[in-house]
């Protein structure tokens, strides 16, 4: 039986600060395994190094900044003091993978000052946890530094070997790339430019996006990312394949020479390194949340995780369209000629609402209900196309809202901004007022295309501030946000719990229309150990019509149907879509798992897994105490034995296994599955037989 955090720990918040008389130059994790040391090079460059159980993992690596209007902060610097703190608390997540999170670290604050005339000051704060480290730069208010224009942050990460890496290119615009598995010395991001299926990409140098995960030849796992990205540019890590070194390369803008504009006092986001002996501990870690500030929104009991359906996949399949007509008078819609394939009609919305209500799915996303889609597709003149308030003539918003309320279905708003940012900013008030008026409490935003104003990128400071504005606007109206084409998650959901979920990866949609064969079977077993470390994912699982006949016979989902079920547990998100069309769920026995599965968890256990190969996660649902387990594999078949010691010995459970059939295979026979009732208690073992590209899902429902 694993040991779990007990609620009683909540009360045991302690903060111990020690004022040190002489500077210390190192700090260790509470368990003593991880150690960070700071020093200065001969030239007076601040540097840090990190070891794990005595093995150097980050070799001495310098830190500094260059500016567009001031000399760099790099050399000729002295250490003027240090402070250490030990901190421990247990905090409660309003929703999430678990209810209670332990946050225990030792902190070292190193205070640096230039020796030359300007005497500029900055601190580097290191927090060392048992599961990794975070450090950030803090610029206090000071005479010779007021407005700050950062040309580049120069934080190095010098590695101790040519590790195995799971990476996507350092694209300034989008994370929707397949993961590459190579040695560090073979990272070649520039070969990933000009992707045929992406509406925007910008990969200026050989760099990777974060999280990037690595395994050393000694079997240690490292993952590099950032936490608490606020009013700053997103990070990419530039790769030096010869020296086995990485350096921060911030996302910039063509409109300014600087990459970040700030004003003292300010601090940078945390630079974060997860360190884990077992791959599974990367997923179990809550380091990114612990590095973020506590909830700033106060009472957030209005946030309700949910499963949802959508008038969505049918557009990706080409069964219907977002647009209503290609030949109408766009100014008045008078005389508009419907082409008859519009997805978001009142009638179709009611069909989905009926199905969702009958099957315990509590929400519905409707895309393509407002005007503008005809003008968007294939044009660069995107400003002013969408207003998010004007329905197409065949969509009666009042009636759909009325009907959804009657059936107790929450509607999810959709705002496809088409990356026309000023248009969206200008319409935030009216768009959110409409949502408030109708009682929408969730929005899915989208940012397809290159950013307008031209010269900005999705991951630069200007856009980071836009995404943040939307979160804060949504919080005012008590709305949860699911962003597509987002900025990567950096744990801000702790501070703004309505920052619920996002895309930020190659989602299921690529299986519908990608011209490169879709997401291969290894995709999600990599995602679980890379992208998922950043935060919740709107992957949109649950496709049963794997071969997509008759709509997309040239494409398919590259997993078995049983794996689609397992994803509800493995790929975490507080908004989980049942993505397929009602007609493919109707009368389907496997749909029972989607009806039953939880979305909000008391605790999560990562039972086994290796990056890119397989992973098994069990989660206990809040309130009900039901457990759900998901296991997925890459293209290899495998047998996995699960000990059910996580179950409560005092309870009895109805246990249902949804497994790949004996002849299942992601390509040759993806829909072969079996459903078995099992007799299991907390002392049992279950053997899961996963087919190539397969998976298994188990529900343990308290009786
Ligand atoms: C891309 C998003 O990822 C997808 O979910 C959405 O349907 C389309 N954009 C249209 O907004
Ligand atoms: Ca997308």
pLDDT in the model for residue 125: 98
Instruction: Please tell me the distance between residue 209's alpha carbon and the centre of ligand 2 in angstroms.
Output: 16
**Is pLDDT above 90 for 24?**
no
Q: Collapse the DSSP code of 648 into the 3-class scheme (helix H, G, I; strand E, B; otherwise coil) and give the result.
A: coil
- Residue in 315, 369, 509, 514 to alter for ligand 1 test, most ligand atoms within 8 A of Cβ: 509
- Helices 346-358, 397-406: inter-axial angle, 10-degree rounding: 10
pLDDT in the model for residue 16: 42
> What is the 3 state secondary structure string of 323-366?
CCCCCCCCCCCCCCCCCCCECCCHHHHHHHHHHHHHCCCCEEEE
**Is pLDDT above 50 for 1?**
no
What is the residue whose two structure tokens read 């040519």?
162
Q: Compute the average pLDDT of residues 107-119.
A: 97
Task: Output the domain CATH number for residue 612.
Answer: 3.20.20.70
Q: Which atom of ligand 1 is nearest to the CA of 484?
A: 3
Ligand whose nearest atom lies closest to the CA of 538: 1
pLDDT tens string 451-475:
999 999 999 999 999 999 999 999 9
| Separation between Cα atoms, residue 568 and residue 518, nearest integer Å | 20
pLDDT tens string 371-385:
999 888 666 788 888
Instruction: Please tell me the distance between residue 309's alpha carbon and the centre of ligand 2 in angstroms.
Output: 17
Residue 182 covered by a domain: no
The residue whose CA has the least distance to atom 3 of ligand 1 is 484
pLDDT tens string 395-411:
999 999 999 999 999 99
Residue 404 covered by a domain: no
Sign of CA dihedral 204, 538, 518, 636: positive
Please work out, in degrees rounded to the nearest 5, the angle formed at the alpha carbon of residue 395 by the alpha carbons of 394 and 396. 115
**Average confidence score pLDDT of the chain:** 95
Q: Which atom of ligand 1 is nearest to the CA of 540?
A: 5
pLDDT in the model for residue 338: 85
Tokens of 507: 């989602």
Residue 176 covered by a domain: no
Q: Compute the average pLDDT of residues 46-53.
A: 98
CB 670 within 8 A of CB 560: yes
Q: Compute the average pLDDT of residues 173-186.
A: 98
Structural domain total, the chain: 2
Domain membership of residue 549 as a residue range: 517-703
pLDDT in the model for residue 333: 64
Residue 377 covered by a domain: no
Please work out, in degrees rounded to the nearest 5, the angle formed at the alpha carbon of residue 615 by the alpha carbons of 610 and 618. 140
pLDDT in the model for residue 327: 56
The residue whose CA has the least distance to atom 11 of ligand 1 is 416
Q: Phi and psi (nearest 5°) for 283?
A: -75, -35
Q: Compute the average pLDDT of residues 660-683.
A: 97
- Give the pLDDT band (50/70/90) at residue 4: very low
Residue 175 covered by a domain: no
Instruction: Please tell me the distance between residue 444's alpha carbon and the centre of ligand 1 in angstroms.
Output: 9
| Separation between Cα atoms, residue 15 and residue 491, nearest integer Å | 22
Q: Which atom of ligand 1 is nearest to the CA of 507?
A: 3
Q: Collapse the DSSP code of 179 into the 3-class scheme (helix H, G, I; strand E, B; otherwise coil) and give the result.
A: coil
CA-based nearest residue to 150, from 160, 137, 164 = 137
179 Cβ partners below 8 Å, 6+ apart? Answer: 166, 167, 168, 522, 523, 526, 527, 530, 612
Give the rounded distance of the alpha carbon of 266 from its chain centre.
25
pLDDT in the model for residue 194: 86
CB 598 within 8 A of CB 698: no
**Is pLDDT above 90 for 645?**
yes
What is the residue whose two structure tokens read 């957030």?
300
CA-based nearest residue to 62, from 149, 157, 152, 144 = 157
Q: Collapse the DSSP code of 620 into the 3-class scheme (helix H, G, I; strand E, B; otherwise coil) and give the result.
A: strand
Ligand whose nearest atom lies closest to the CA of 448: 1
pLDDT in the model for residue 574: 98
Neighbours of 34 (CB within 10 A): 23
Q: Compute the average pLDDT of residues 493-516.
A: 98
The residue whose CA has the least distance to atom 7 of ligand 1 is 312
What is the residue whose two structure tokens read 């195995």?
164
pLDDT in the model for residue 447: 97
CA-based nearest residue to 499, from 81, 95, 146, 51 = 95
Active site residue 509: yes
Q: What's the Rg (C-alpha) of the chain? A: 25
Give 483's strand partners: 445, 502
| Separation between Cα atoms, residue 185 and residue 283, nearest integer Å | 26
- Give the pLDDT band (50/70/90) at residue 10: very low
- Give the pLDDT band (50/70/90) at residue 23: low
pLDDT in the model for residue 336: 73
Give the rounded distance of the alpha carbon of 220 from its chain centre.
23
CA-based nearest residue to 598, from 562, 626, 571, 631 = 626
What is the residue whose two structure tokens read 């998010």?
388
pTM equals 0.96
Instruction: Please tell me the distance between residue 503's alpha carbon and the centre of ligand 2 in angstroms.
Output: 7
| Separation between Cα atoms, residue 317 and residue 511, nearest integer Å | 9
Q: Compute the average pLDDT of residues 90-108.
A: 98
**Is pLDDT above 80 for 328?**
no
pLDDT in the model for residue 380: 72
23 Cβ partners below 8 Å, 6+ apart? Answer: 79, 81, 82
- Residue in 484, 575, 577 to alter for ligand 1 test, most ligand atoms within 8 A of Cβ: 484
pLDDT in the model for residue 6: 39
- Give the pLDDT band (50/70/90) at residue 11: very low
Which has the higher per-residue pLDDT, 328 or 589? 589
Instruction: Please tell me the distance between residue 485's alpha carbon and the centre of ligand 2 in angstroms.
Output: 5
- Give the pLDDT band (50/70/90) at residue 325: confident
pLDDT in the model for residue 13: 41
pLDDT in the model for residue 334: 65
Instruction: Please tell me the distance between residue 351's alpha carbon and the centre of ligand 1 in angstroms.
Output: 21
Give percent of the chain above pLDDT 90.
Answer: 92
Tokens of 520: 């291969």
Q: Compute the average pLDDT of residues 520-543.
A: 98
Q: List the catalytic residue out of 97, 111, 456, 509.
A: 509
CA-based nearest residue to 60, from 28, 26, 18 = 26
pLDDT tens string 260-314:
999 999 999 999 999 999 999 999 999 999 999 999 999 999 999 999 999 999 9
Neighbours of 651 (CB within 10 A): 14
pLDDT tens string 200-234:
999 999 999 999 999 999 999 999 999 999 999 99
CB 416 within 8 A of CB 370: no
Residue 490 covered by a domain: no
Q: Compute the average pLDDT of residues 578-605.
A: 98
| Separation between Cα atoms, residue 505 and residue 528, nearest integer Å | 11
The residue whose CA has the least distance to atom 8 of ligand 1 is 446
The residue whose CA has the least distance to atom 6 of ligand 1 is 446
State the burial class of residue 313 (Cβ atoms within 10 Å of its Cβ: 0-12, 13-18, 19+).
Answer: buried
Task: Output the domain CATH number for residue 121.
Answer: 2.70.98.10
Ligand 1: which residues within 6 Å by Cβ?
Answer: 312, 367, 416, 446, 448, 484, 503, 509
Residue 521 covered by a domain: yes
Give the rounded distance of the alpha carbon of 441 from its chain centre.
20
- Residue in 367, 386, 449 to alter for ligand 1 test, most ligand atoms within 8 A of Cβ: 367
CB 333 within 8 A of CB 568: no
Residue 226 covered by a domain: yes
| Separation between Cα atoms, residue 577 and residue 306, nearest integer Å | 9
């Amino acid at each position: 039986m694993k040991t779990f955090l007990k609620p009683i720990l909540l009360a045991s918040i302690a903060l111990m600060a020690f004022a040190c008389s002489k500077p210390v130059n190192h700090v260790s994790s509470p368990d003593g395994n991880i150690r960070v040391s700071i020093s200065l090079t001969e030239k007076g460059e601040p540097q840090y190094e990190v070891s794990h159980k005595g093995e150097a993992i980050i070799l001495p690596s310098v830190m500094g900044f260059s500016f567009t209007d001031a000399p760099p902060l790099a050399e000729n610097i002295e250490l003027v003091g240090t402070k250490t703190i030990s901190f421990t608390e247990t905090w409660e997540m309003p929703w999430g993978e678990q209810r209670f999170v332990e946050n225990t670290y030792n902190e070292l604050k190193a205070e640096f000052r230039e020796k030359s005339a300007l005497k500029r000051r900055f601190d580097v704060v290191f927090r060392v946890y048992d599961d990794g480290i975070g450090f950030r730069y803090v610029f206090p208010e000071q005479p010779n530094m007021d407005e700050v224009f950062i040309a580049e942050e120069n934080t190095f990460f010098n590695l101790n070997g040519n590790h195995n890496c799971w990476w996507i290119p350092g694209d300034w615009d989008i994370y929707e790339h397949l993961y590459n598995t190579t040695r560090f010395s073979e990272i070649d991001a520039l070969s990933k430019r000009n992707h045929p299926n992406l509406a925007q990409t910008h990969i200026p140098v050989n760099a990777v996006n974060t999280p990037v995960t690595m395994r050393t030849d000694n079997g240690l796992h490292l993952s590099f990312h950032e936490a608490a990205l606020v009013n700053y540019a997103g990070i990419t890590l530039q790769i030096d394949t010869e020296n086995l070194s990485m350096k921060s390369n911030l996302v910039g803008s063509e409109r300014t020479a600087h990459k970040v504009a700030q004003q003292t006092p300010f601090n940078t986001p945390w630079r974060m390194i997860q360190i884990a002996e077992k791959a599974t501990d990367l997923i179990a870690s809550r380091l990114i949340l612990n590095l973020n500030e506590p909830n700033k929104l106060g009472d957030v009991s209005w946030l309700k995780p949910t499963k949802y359906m959508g008038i969505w996949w049918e557009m990706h399949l080409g069964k219907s369209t977002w647009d209503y007509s290609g030949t109408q008078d766009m100014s008045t819609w008078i005389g508009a000629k419907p082409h008859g394939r519009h997805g978001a009609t009142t009638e179709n919305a009611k069909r989905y609402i009926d199905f969702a209500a009958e099957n315990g799915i509590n929400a519905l996303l409707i895309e393509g209900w407002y005007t503008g889609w005809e003008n968007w597709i294939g044009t660069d003149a995107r400003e002013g196309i969408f207003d998010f308030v004007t329905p197409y003539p065949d969509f009666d918003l009042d009636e759909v809202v009325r009907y959804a309320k009657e059936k107790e279905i929450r509607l999810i708003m959709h705002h496809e901004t088409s990356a026309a940012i000023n248009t969206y900013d200008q319409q935030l008030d009216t768009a959110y007022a409409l949502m408030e008026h109708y009682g929408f409490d969730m929005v899915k935003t989208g940012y397809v295309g290159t950013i307008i104003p031209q010269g900005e990128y999705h991951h630069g400071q200007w856009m980071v501030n836009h995404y943040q504005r939307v979160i804060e606007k949504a919080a005012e109206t008590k709305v949860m946000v699911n962003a597509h084409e987002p900025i990567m998650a950096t744990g801000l959901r702790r501070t703004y719990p309505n920052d619920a979920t996002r895309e930020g990866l190659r989602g299921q949609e690529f299986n519908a229309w990608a011209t490169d064969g879709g997401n291969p079977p290894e995709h999600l077993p990599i995602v679980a150990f890379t992208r998922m470390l950043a935060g919740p994912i709107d992957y949109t699982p649950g496709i049963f019509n794997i071969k997509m006949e008759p709509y997309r016979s040239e494409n398919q989902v590259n997993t078995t149907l049983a794996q689609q079920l397992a994803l509800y547990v493995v790929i975490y998100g507080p908004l989980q879509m049942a993505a397929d069309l009602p007609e493919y769920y109707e009368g389907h026995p496997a749909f029972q798992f989607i009806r039953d599965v939880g979305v909000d968890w008391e605790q999560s256990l990562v039972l086994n897994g290796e990056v890119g190969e397989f992973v098994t996660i069990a989660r206990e649902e809040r309130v009900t105490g039901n457990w759900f387990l998901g296991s997925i594999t890459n293209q290899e078949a495998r047998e996995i034995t699960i000990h059910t010691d996580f179950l409560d010995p005092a309870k009895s459970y109805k246990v249902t296994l949804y497994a790949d059939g004996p002849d299942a295979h992601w390509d040759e026979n993806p829909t072969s599955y079996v459903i078995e009732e099992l007799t299991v208690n907390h002392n049992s073992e279950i053997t899961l037989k996963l087919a190539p590209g397969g998976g298994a899902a188990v529900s343990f429902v308290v009786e």
